[in-house]
Amino acid sequence: MSPASIRRRMLFISNGHGEDWIAAAIAARLPKGLEVDAYPMIGAGNAYTGVCPVVGPRATLASEGWRNVKGSLRRDLANGGLMTIPPALKFLRQVRGRYGRIIVVGDMTGVLAAFVSGLRNLTYLDVYKTGAARLYSAAERFLIKRTCSTVFCRSDSLSDMLVQAGIDARCAGNVMMDTIPSGDYDAHARRRRERAVTLLPGSRALTAESFGLQIEALRSLPPDLMPDVFLAVAGGINVDELAKKTGLRRTHMLSAESCDLGELTDGKMTVHMARGNALGNLLAASDLVLSQAGTATVQALGMGRPVITFINPRDRRSRFEDEQRLFDAARVVVPADVAAVGAALADLLAHDEERRRLGNIGRQRIGGPGAVQAILDCITPRD
C-alpha cells in the first residue's frame, strides 16, 4: 500500500453506543474519496450502518461498557470480559501502519488499548470527562501524551490542563451537540396534547426495568397533565420485551417513515416509537425528557429540555455526582419509585416557567455546537 493511499485511510475507534453515534456522525461528514472504517469496541456498531464498514472483532459485555453502575467491571470480568481483550489488542496491532489517521471517540479505554498495541499519533475525542469534577490524573496525562497527537476536550479546564503538559489539546465546543442524530420521523405531526415527553430508558441491561418505571410514573398523572409520549429505541433493544414489562400492546401500523417503529398502547396511553437515529426529531417536539441514558441526556439538556432521572441503587454514585455538578438543576434527580418520578413529572408539566428556567440552565451548562468543524479540519488529509 502506497504512502498516498494510506494517508487517505481513516479508522474510528469507539467504545459505547453514544460514542458510536458521535463517531458515525463525524465520519458521515468527511469528504468523499476517503476510505473510512470503524471499530466499535463493544456491541454491533449499528450507528455506522450506511456510513462506513465496521471492522475488527465484535465484543459483547453485559454492561456494554457502562461504568455508571456499581460493580459493572467486576461482573464483566466474572462473565468472561477478559476474553474480549486479546482479540481487540490483536486487531489493533494488525492495523498499525494501515491508516493515515486513527480517531478514538470515548473515554480512556480506547487510548489505553492503543498505547498497549503500539498505536501512536491518535486524534482523541474525549466525550467522557466533563471538566466539572475530576480532571486528568497523572497516569492519564502520561498515556495521552505518548499516544495522541491532538485531543478535543469538552471544557477549557480539561484542554488547559493538557496544554500545560505539552499536549495539543483544544476545546472548540461540545461535539455531542454537533452530532445529535435526526432521521425520517415527523414527531410534530403526532402531537395531540398540550405537552410532550420523550422517554430515554437507555441502551443496556436495565432498559426494560427503567422503561417500566417511566411508564408507571406517566400512568400516575392526572388526565389533564397527560402528555404525548415518545420513545427513542436504541439499537439492540427488544421492543416486545418493553411491551411485556408494561402491559402495553404493540401495534404494527407503520408509516412510510424509515425511523417509525409503531406504537405501544393500552387504550389509554399511546407511546410513539422511533429509532434512536431520530432522537433529534423527538427532542425538538418535546417539552421535557425522562432519561436513564448517557450521551442522549447531555444532548437533551443542551437542547434546552429539562431531564428527570431517577437514581438506581446500582448506580456508581461518584460518577453520578460528577455529572450532576455539570448538569446542576437542569437534571432533576429523584428516587427510583413511581411516586417520586410522577411528582417530578407533574410539577414540570404544570409549570411552563420552571421548565424554561431549567432549560436555559441546561443550554448554558452543556455548551453549544462548533467542535465538529474543528475536528473535520484537523483530521481531513490535505493533498
Residues 256-285 have pLDDT tens digits of 999 999 999 999 999 999 999 999 999 999
Residues 35 and 105 in one domain: yes
Residues 225-262 have pLDDT tens digits of 999 999 999 887 899 999 999 999 999 788 999 999 99
DSSP β-bridge partners for residue 126? 106
Establish if 179 belongs to a structural domain: no
Residues 330-366 have pLDDT tens digits of 999 999 999 999 999 999 999 999 999 999 999 999 9
**CA 365, 67, 42, 153 torsion-angle sign:** positive
Q: List the domain range (segments joined by +) for residue 45.
A: 3-174+369-379
Give the least confident one: 83-92, 129-138, 183-192, 309-318: 309-318
pLDDT at position 59 is 78
Residues 103 and 244 in one domain: no
C-alpha cell at 139: 497516569
Residues 166 and 308 in one domain: no
Establish if 180 belongs to a structural domain: no
Q: How many CB atoms lie within 10 A of CB 154?
A: 25
Establish if 72 belongs to a structural domain: yes
Establish if 351 belongs to a structural domain: yes
How many domains in the chain?
2
Q: How far is CA 68 from CA 72, 294, 296, 311, 314, in A?
A: 8, 9, 15, 11, 8
Percent composition of the chain: helix, strand, coil (DSSP 3-state, to 5) = 45, 20, 35
CATH of the domain at 29: 3.40.50.2000
Residues 226 and 163 in one domain: no
Average pLDDT, rounded, for the chain: 91
Establish if 219 belongs to a structural domain: yes
Residues 200 and 167 in one domain: no
Establish if 181 belongs to a structural domain: no
Residues 114 and 244 in one domain: no
Residues 7 and 156 in one domain: yes
Establish if 375 belongs to a structural domain: yes
61 — pLDDT class (breaks 50, 70, 90): low
Residues 78 and 9 in one domain: yes
Residues 231 and 245 in one domain: yes
Establish if 20 belongs to a structural domain: yes
Nearest to 108 by CA among 19, 174, 178, 172: 19
For residue 108, report the phi and psi dihedrals to the nearest 5 degrees.
-75, -5
Residues 22 and 85 in one domain: yes
Residues 23 and 166 in one domain: yes
Residues 102 and 205 in one domain: no
pLDDT at position 318 is 79
Across 60-84, b (16+ Cβ under 10 Å) vs e yields ebebbbbbbbbebeeebeeeebeeb
pLDDT at position 322 is 86
